[in-house]
């Protein structure tokens, strides 16, 4: 992690994670299947609060009689799966560590939401749907299943078109999809929608990227199909141990290539054959869904969520520029190119660790292209 981000992480942990004393490790049950995570979540339960338990499941005794009330911000250190398949999180409250049902909370950042999505074994997809439910709309929930809290009281109405980027199965086996609505991400039941056919030839309808996360590992495949749906070729990444950020992610199609990130490297696949055209290992970052743009010459501008803040590579795979860190903000997640001359980078937090819509603009003419900083 970059130096300034490590400092920020220490500030955040001092603010949210540390309390004067904790119960010892022997005072709670540690799940063998628990995986380490690091994010904050806000209690948002229908009953007004969430029970605080000794282990990951409703069968464990409560550590206190009163529920942790809605609106409480909690750090999540580990995630584990209960016997009924629900996800639970290890947290700290009033000087004690214990477990809460993650169906009763919502995460407080896009990155944390992505980390939760990994925990429910979601696979990456890319298509549009239209809400077409018998009840006139579909509920918008924090996780893939009816047991998760609603993100809003009103249903998303019929006729609304949504983009689905992840799929996961609920406990009853029904499929749920991750979509964006009114500026936030949440899950919808795919039984309540119908797929929308996209005829734009520039979309990925003939080039399918699938991201798989299971048993603590992740990998991805890219498959090319002809117009009749016959497979032309398939590229499969290596399998990697899951980390805070995805180690394989999609960028998209440009310059006759399919671009992706694999274990910190930018990779370009020939669209015609699926062979690796070039691989740039100097990026050493984890991409985000909107953290990149191409210019008219096919040059790729990309940010890594944990760094670098800006990396530029030409269409032949040559590194043109690298900037590990800008002082204006932390954790870049979105990028725009205005008039082919001004690059705008959006950050998740400011220098004080406050979540805000912070962005900076960089005139491209001011960048010392070909020089690594």
**What would the pLDDT profile of 332-352 be if each residue is shown by its tens digit?**
888 999 888 899 998 887 766
Average pLDDT rounded to a whole number, residues 229-241: 91
Whether 192 and 214 map to the same domain: the answer is: no
Whether 75 and 171 map to the same domain: the answer is: no
Q: Which of 172, 196, 220 is the last residue of a domain?
A: 196
Q: Report the number of distinct structural domains present in the chain.
A: 3
Average pLDDT rounded to a whole number, residues 260-288: 94
pLDDT, one tens digit per residue, over 73-85 is 888 888 888 888 7
pLDDT, one tens digit per residue, over 173-215 is 788 998 888 877 788 998 888 876 544 333 444 788 888 887 7
pLDDT band at 109 (very low <50, low <70, confident <90, very high): low
* Average pLDDT value over all residues in the chain: 80
Q: Which domain holds residue 44?
A: 3-108
Whether 212 and 325 map to the same domain: the answer is: yes
Question: What is the pLDDT at residue 354?
Answer: 66
Place of tokens 């299943």: 145
Give a yes or no: residue 358 inside a domain: yes
In this prediction the pTM is 0.50
Give a yes or no: residue 201 inside a domain: no
Question: What is the pLDDT at residue 251?
Answer: 93
| 220 has a pLDDT exceeding 50 | yes
CATH number at residue 87: 2.30.30.170
Average pLDDT rounded to a whole number, residues 87-107: 87
pLDDT, one tens digit per residue, over 3-56 is 433 333 333 333 333 333 333 333 344 444 567 777 778 888 888 999 999 999
pLDDT band at 116 (very low <50, low <70, confident <90, very high): low
Give a yes or no: residue 114 inside a domain: no
- Rounded Cα distance between 61 and 44, Å, is 21
Whether 37 and 91 map to the same domain: the answer is: yes
Please provide residue 23's backbone torsions phi and psi, each rounded to the nearest 5 degrees: -65, 155
Question: What is the pLDDT at residue 27?
Answer: 39
């Amino acid at each position: 992690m970059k130096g300034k981000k490590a400092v920020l992480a220490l500030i955040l942990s001092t603010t949210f994670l540390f309390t004067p004393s904790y119960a010892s490790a022997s005072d709670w049950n540690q799940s063998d299947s628990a995986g380490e995570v690091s994010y904050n979540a806000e209690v948002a339960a229908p009953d007004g609060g969430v029970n605080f338990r000794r282990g990951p499941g409703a069968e464990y005794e409560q550590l206190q009689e009163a529920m942790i009330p809605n609106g409480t911000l909690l750090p999540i250190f580990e995630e584990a799966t209960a016997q009924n398949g629900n996800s639970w999180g290890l947290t700290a409250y009033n000087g004690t560590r214990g477990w809460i049902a993650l169906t009763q909370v919502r995460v407080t950042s896009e990155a944390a939401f992505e980390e939760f999505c990994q925990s429910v074994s979601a696979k990456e997809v890319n298509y549009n749907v239209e809400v077409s439910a018998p009840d006139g709309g579909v509920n918008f929930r924090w996780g893939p299943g009816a047991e998760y809290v609603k993100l809003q009281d009103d249903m998303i109405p019929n006729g609304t078109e949504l983009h689905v980027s992840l799929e996961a199965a609920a406990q009853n086996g029904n499929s749920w999809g991750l979509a964006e609505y009114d500026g936030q991400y949440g899950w919808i039941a795919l039984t309540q929608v119908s797929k929308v056919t996209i005829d734009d030839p520039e979309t990925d309808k003939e080039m399918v990227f699938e991201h798989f996360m299971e048993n603590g590992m992740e990998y991805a495949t890219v498959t090319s199909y002809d117009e009749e749906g016959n497979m032309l070729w398939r590229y499969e990444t290596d399998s990697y141990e899951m980390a805070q950020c995805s180690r394989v992610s999609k960028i998209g199609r440009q310059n006759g290539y399919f671009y992706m990130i694999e274990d910190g490297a930018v990779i370009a696949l020939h669209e015609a054959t699926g062979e690796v055209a070039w691989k740039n290992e100097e990026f050493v970052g984890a991409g985000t869904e909107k953290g990149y743009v191409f210019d008219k010459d096919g040059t790729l501008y990309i940010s890594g969520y944990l760094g670098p803040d800006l990396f530029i590579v030409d269409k032949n795979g040559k590194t043109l520029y690298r900037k590990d860190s800008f002082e204006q903000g932390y954790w870049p997640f979105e990028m725009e190119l205005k008039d082919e001359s001004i690059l705008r980078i959006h950050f998740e937090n400011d220098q004080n660790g406050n979540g805000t819509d912070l962005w900076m603009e960089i005139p491209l003419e001011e960048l010392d292209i070909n020089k690594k900083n």
